[in-house]
Amino acid sequence: MRYLIFCLWGLCASGLAAANPVDWHPQDTMAPGQWMLTGTSTHFNTGLDFTQGRDRSPSLRGTKSGDYRGNALSLSWQFHPRWAVRASSLGRVLEDVSDQYQINTWEASLWTQQPLQWLGSETGFARLSAWGNQADSLQSSTSKTVGEVVLTQSKIIQPRDQTLALQGGLTWSSSPAWKYHADMGLGWTELKYQDFQANGMRNGCEYQLQIMGTDVVGTRIDPCTVVGTASQFSTPLGTYGLDLQKELAWSARYLAWGGGLQWTNGWGRWRASANGQTWQRNGVDDIIAKRGGAPVVQQLHVRTEWMYPVSVQIQPFEGFDYFSSFLLNDLPMLYNSGTSSNFLNTYSQFRAGLRIFF
């Protein structure tokens, strides 16, 4: 039964890649009153996964699980010489072996950059960001044999997460062409979901399975030709050592740190940054450890970007990202006691977009 629950949860953590709502490089400072509209298209598939992290997982190797395509639209406004705000909306399509999921993401942030001479720096910057992810449902129609039970379909209804992050850092320059930055940050994350359901086979009949408080309740789906089967059964979650609230609706905090550089020449602007994170989750990681698993508490994110200004108002860009562990910070709702091992795999992604200033 424990493995049955893991299979149900596992449908939503198949190595999916998406752009992190937080750009760890310092935000572009615009003229007072200026707006910036940014459109970004991000993709992940076998051809773009230069780390081949998906191939290291026997359950993901050779499948389309984790293929991703998404589009983001972001609007920034420099309402003060040293203050700006940003709002973003992202739509993502995630592929599984036989299913497709749609996740919607929102992001909002407040940004400031101030003159600050400390440790040789020229300016200091700070960003307060909030973002969240939600889906109507994450459903799997793949049939699975689990012990004496054949699981025919499963669904997580209205999974969602919310994150609040505070980032601060310093910037330096060695010449007009070369700029550098270092930053640190704190984040808080909370997960929620509405319901968790599935259909499965028991004693030759199909049952609708539903989590009811601390029990798994099964209701027979008629017609069933097997004589003597129960129309309903109930099994305590505690019998299998499960705690749904801790495993699917956990909260956490994390510490982040990083740095990067920027080089401007006749071919445009080149950026590279690296960000590390350490996570501390309530409940779920203790459960993973007790079951012999390895909680994923560290992530390294390396981001590169090349931008060429077609004009003062139009800036196309493209870049690659490397992640040491799937979507640990970007989509926390995918992490639970049944999917944590998938976050041990690396992945990469490609993105391209356009910035328009007006």
d(CA 357, CA 355): 7
| Number of other CB atoms surrounding residue 358 within 10 Å | 7
The answer to whether 340 and 287 are in contact (CB under 8 A) is no
Residues 6+ apart with CB under 8 A from 58: none
Alpha helices in the chain (DSSP H): 2-10, 244-248, 284-290
Give backbone dihedrals phi and psi of 276, rounded to 5 degrees, phi first. -115, 150
d(CA 231, CA 224): 10
Q: What is the pLDDT of residue 148?
A: 46
Q: What is the pLDDT of residue 34?
A: 95
d(CA 355, CA 213): 49
Give backbone dihedrals phi and psi of 150, rounded to 5 degrees, phi first. -100, 115
What digits encode the pLDDT tens for the residues 308-325? 999 999 999 999 989 898
**1-6 average pLDDT score:** 34
Residue 62 has pLDDT above 60, yes or no: yes
Alpha helices in 91-140 (DSSP H): none
pLDDT confidence band for 7 (50 / 70 / 90): very low
Please state the domain extents for the chain: 2-136+163-186+252-357
**13-38 average pLDDT score:** 64
Helix or strand holding residue 169 (H, E): strand 160-175
The mean pLDDT value of the chain amounts to 84
Residue 222 has pLDDT above 80, yes or no: yes
Copy the structure tokens of residue 103: 């996740």
**118-132, 196-210, 229-243, 343-357: which is most confident:** 118-132
What digits encode the pLDDT tens for the residues 277-318? 999 999 999 988 988 889 999 999 999 999 999 999 999 999
Residues 6+ apart with CB under 8 A from 48: 348, 349, 350
In order of 19, 92, 344, 352, the CA distances from 324 in angstroms are 14, 21, 7, 21
Residue 96 has pLDDT above 70, yes or no: yes
d(CA 135, CA 120): 46
Nearest to 235 by CA among 147, 162, 312, 299: 147
| Number of other CB atoms surrounding residue 50 within 10 Å | 13
d(CA 249, CA 280): 14
**Alpha carbon 97 to its chain's center:** 19
d(CA 265, CA 12): 43
**75-79 average pLDDT score:** 94
Q: Which of 17-31, 96-110, 153-167, 283-297 has the lowest mean pLDDT?
A: 17-31
Residues 6+ apart with CB under 8 A from 237: 211, 214, 215, 216, 243, 244
Architecture of the structural domain at 2-136+163-186+252-357? Beta Barrel (2.40)
